[in-house]
Amino acid sequence: MSKGYTGKILVVDLTSGAIREETIPDRVYETYLAGMGLGAYQLYRKIPAGADPLGPENVLGFVAGLLTGTGSLFTGRWSLVGKSPLTGGWGDANCGGMLAPAIKRCGYDGIFFSGASDKPVYLQVGNGKAALHDASDLWGHDAVETEEILTRRHHKKKLPRVACIGPAGEKLSLISGVCTDRGRIAARSGLGAVMGSKKLKAVVLSGTRKIEPHDRAAVHALSRKCNRWATFEIPFFSGKMMGRLGTLMRILPTQTAMDGMLFKMMLSKWGTSSMNQMSVEMGDAPIKNWKGSNTDFGPQRSMGVNPDLFRECEIVKYHCYACPLGCGGICRTNGHYTETHKPEYETVLALGGLCLNEDRDSIFQLNETLNRAGMDSISAGATVAFAIECFEKGLITAADTGGLELGWGHTEAITALIEKMIRREGIGDLLADGTRKAAARIGRDAHHYAIQAGGQELPMHDGRGDPGYALHYAVEASPGKHTVGSQLYYEMYRLWKKIKHLPKPDLLYFKNSKYTADETKAICSATCSKYINLLNGSGACLFGAFLGADRFPLFDWLNAATGWDKTPEEYLAMGAAFQTLKQAFNIKHGIDPRRNKPSARALGLPALAKGANKDRRVDLDKMIRDYWHLFGWDQDTGQPSEDVMQYLLVGETAN
Partner 1 sequence: MQSEAKPFFKRKVCMACRICVDACPVSCIDTASSGTDRDPHGYPFLADEAACISCNQCAETCPVEAVVMQAAA
Question: Where along the sequence are the contacts to partner 1 (CB under 8 A)?
Answer: 69, 71-73, 98, 101-102, 105, 155, 157-159, 208, 210, 216, 219-220, 223-224, 227, 230-231, 314-324, 326, 330
Give me the half-sphere count of Cα atoms (radius 13 Å) on the Cβ side of residue 75: 30
Distance of CA 277 to the CA centre of its chain: 22
- Indicate the residue among 154 and 482 with the shorter CB distance to partner 1: 154
CA-CA-CA-CA torsion for 153, 154, 157, 159, nearest 10 degrees? -100
Distance in Å, CB of 288 to partner 1, minimum: 36
Distance in Å, CB of 236 to partner 1, minimum: 15
- Indicate the residue among 184 and 481 with the shorter CB distance to partner 1: 184
Distance in Å, CB of 388 to partner 1, minimum: 37
- Indicate the residue among 328 and 537 with the shorter CB distance to partner 1: 328
- Indicate the residue among 154 and 461 with the shorter CB distance to partner 1: 154
Pairwise CA distance, residues 259 & 536, whole Å: 22
- Indicate the residue among 230 and 366 with the shorter CB distance to partner 1: 230
Distance of CA 308 to the CA centre of its chain: 25
Phi then psi dihedrals of residue 10, to 5 deg: -105, 130
Pairwise CA distance, residues 346 & 331, whole Å: 17
- Indicate the residue among 55 and 326 with the shorter CB distance to partner 1: 326
- Indicate the residue among 32 and 74 with the shorter CB distance to partner 1: 74
Distance in Å, CB of 341 to partner 1, minimum: 13
- Indicate the residue among 154 and 588 with the shorter CB distance to partner 1: 154
Distance in Å, CB of 538 to partner 1, minimum: 15
Neighbours of 394 (CB within 10 A): 8
Phi then psi dihedrals of residue 80, to 5 deg: -115, 130
Neighbours of 260 (CB within 10 A): 23
- Indicate the residue among 101 and 479 with the shorter CB distance to partner 1: 101
Contact (Cβ atoms closer than 8 angstroms) between residue 460 and residue 578: no
Nearest to 33 by CA among 644, 551, 588, 561: 561
Pairwise CA distance, residues 529 & 624, whole Å: 13
- Indicate the residue among 72 and 415 with the shorter CB distance to partner 1: 72
Neighbours of 430 (CB within 10 A): 19
Q: Residue 36: helix, strand or coil by DSSP?
A: helix
Distance in Å, CB of 77 to partner 1, minimum: 13
Distance in Å, CB of 324 to partner 1, minimum: 4
DSSP letter, residue 86: T
Give me the half-sphere count of Cα atoms (radius 13 Å) on the Cβ side of residue 309: 18
Angle at 461 between CA 448 and CA 618, to 5 degrees: 60
Contact (Cβ atoms closer than 8 angstroms) between residue 62 and residue 47: no
Distance in Å, CB of 39 to partner 1, minimum: 22
Distance in Å, CB of 242 to partner 1, minimum: 20
Distance in Å, CB of 215 to partner 1, minimum: 13
- Indicate the residue among 64 and 202 with the shorter CB distance to partner 1: 64
Distance in Å, CB of 177 to partner 1, minimum: 22
Which residues on adjacent β-strands are paired with residue 112?
11, 61
- Indicate the residue among 270 and 473 with the shorter CB distance to partner 1: 270
Nearest to 467 by CA among 618, 580, 254, 304: 618
DSSP string, 362-376: HHHHHHHHHHHHTB-
Angle at 481 between CA 553 and CA 111, to 5 degrees: 70
Cis peptide before 606 (omega within 30 of 0): yes
**What Å distances lie between residue 12 and 19, 71, 124, 180, CA to CA?**
5, 29, 11, 20
Pairwise CA distance, residues 175 & 455, whole Å: 10
DSSP letter, residue 497: G
Distance in Å, CB of 176 to partner 1, minimum: 27
Distance in Å, CB of 141 to partner 1, minimum: 23
Angle at 399 between CA 359 and CA 435, to 5 degrees: 60
- Indicate the residue among 284 and 556 with the shorter CB distance to partner 1: 556
